[in-house]
A and B are shown apart, each in its own frame.
Chain A
Amino acid sequence: AQSVAQPEDQVNVAEGNPLTVKCTYSVSGNPYLFWYVQYPNRGLQFLLKYITGDNLVKGSYGFEAEFNKSQTSFHLKKPSALVSDSALYFCAVRDGVNNDMRFGAGTRLTVKP
């Protein structure tokens, strides 16, 4: 069965600095990888996904993620963080057979002015 690990519960960065939120996965077959963001008392908002193709995926709000098959990682990145990026970020994975997505436990990103 597929699984996702987000090794950091909390990430703190200063506004204007680059940010990275880490994600590693385990899946049989080809992975379908997703990043979502959740603001307080809200549902999840889709940021980006990797299905196939270029390892660097660009998404909403200036975020991007790099798929690394050898390291089974899909880290979320942004070159210059904004205070408004502060939220809870979830990585998720599906395989090519099952329709359920497995989510990580989430990483709370705090961007300080």
Chain B
Amino acid sequence: DAGVTQSPTHLIKTRGQQVTLRCSPKSGHDTVSWYQQALGQGPQFIFQYYEEEERQRGNFPDRFSGHQFPNYSSELNVNALLLGDSALYLCASSLETGGRESTDTQYFGPGTRLTVL
């Protein structure tokens, strides 16, 4: 049973560029959440996708956008990269059990390390 996978593993970009990160959820999961983990900090919630819609968003600017595909995989796009966007980007998947009060565990992928020069 494949867990959450993310690609690429590492990425180096320059300021002002755009980047796309990809995530495939754990088999059987339908919900994908994205987190940014800066060095020495805990993960910060970016947004969550369910049924191909952004369901909830954290305190991140519009430069951060996403998409979920019919097969539940997801992309995170970041435009106009800043030095401060350098971080480990984590994708987590879970199964929506119904309603907003989901108690399901989120399972994390290995992350994509983004470096902005």
Q: Which of A46, A99, A105 contacts B102 (CB 8 A)?
A: A99
List the interface of chain A (C-beta within 8 A of B): 4, 32, 34, 36, 41-46, 49, 51, 90, 92, 96-106
Number of A-B contacts (CB under 8 A): 61
Q: Please, what's the 1-or-0 string for B6-47, where 1 marks a CB less than 8 Å from any CB in chain A? A: 100000000000000000000000000101000011111100
Q: Is the CB of B4 within 8 A of A43?
A: yes
How many angstroms between the C-alpha atoms of A44 and B43 in the bound complex? 10
Contact partner, B42, options A45, A46, A51, A103, Cβ 8 Å: A103
- B: contact size bracket: 20 to 34
Kindly provide the distance from the CB of A11 to the nearest chain B CB, expressed in whole angstroms: 16
Bound form: Cα–Cα A49–B48 in Å: 20
In angstroms, Cα B48 to Cα A111, docked, is: 35
Considering the complex of A and B, which 3 residue pairs feature the smallest CB-CB distances, nearest first?
A103-B42, A100-B45, A43-B108
- Bound CA–CA A43/B101 (angstroms): 25
- Would A102 and B45 count as touching, CB distance under 8 A? yes
Look across to chain A and name the residue whose beta carbon is closest to the beta carbon of B94.
A99
A105-B42 CB under 8 A given contacts A46-B107, A100-B33: yes
Q: Give the CA-CA distance A78 to B28 in the complex, in Å.
A: 31
Closest B residue by C-beta to A48: B105
Please measure, in the bound complex, the distance between the C-alpha atom of A102 and the C-alpha atom of B90, giving whole angstroms: 14
Which chain A residues lie closer than 8 Å to B43 at the CB level?
44, 90, 101, 103
Least CB separation from A34: chain B residue:
B105
Decide: A90 near B42, CB < 8 A? Known: A42-B110, A46-B107, A100-B48. Answer: yes
Q: Does B109 contact A (CB under 8 A)?
A: yes
The answer to whether A96 and B101 touch across the interface, beta carbons within 8 angstroms, is: yes
